[in-house]
Amino acid sequence: MYTLRGKSVWIERHAFEGMSSERPPVSTQEVMTTIEKPDGLEREAGTRERAWRWIAQRTIIVYYDELEDEIHVKAVSSTRRKI
């Protein structure tokens, strides 16, 4: 289990599969860095957030829900271009 900002971070199966399928795979550290220090952040309907950060010549994109005491990572992807 991971923690950010004093909250437990849970990476859901769909997100983990997305991390693993990227080439090279997205590391858990890259996901945590993207959430903690994003280059950009958008709030979608409800609590859903979309954060992105340029790391290692690619943009890491993380979709997550931030609750009062937990962060649930829903999906992760990457692209070779800057957003």
Domain segments of the chain as ranges: 2-79
Domain 2-79: which CATH class?
Answer: alpha beta
Q: What is the pLDDT of residues 59-82, one digit of tens each?
A: 999 999 999 999 999 999 999 999
DSSP assigned state of 54: E
Q: Give the 3-state secondary structure of residue 39.
A: coil
Specify the residue for token string 């997100």: 15
Model pLDDT, residue 43: 87
pLDDT tens series, the chain, 83 aa = 799 989 999 999 999 999 999 999 999 999 999 999 999 999 877 778 999 999 999 999 999 999 999 999 999 999 999 98
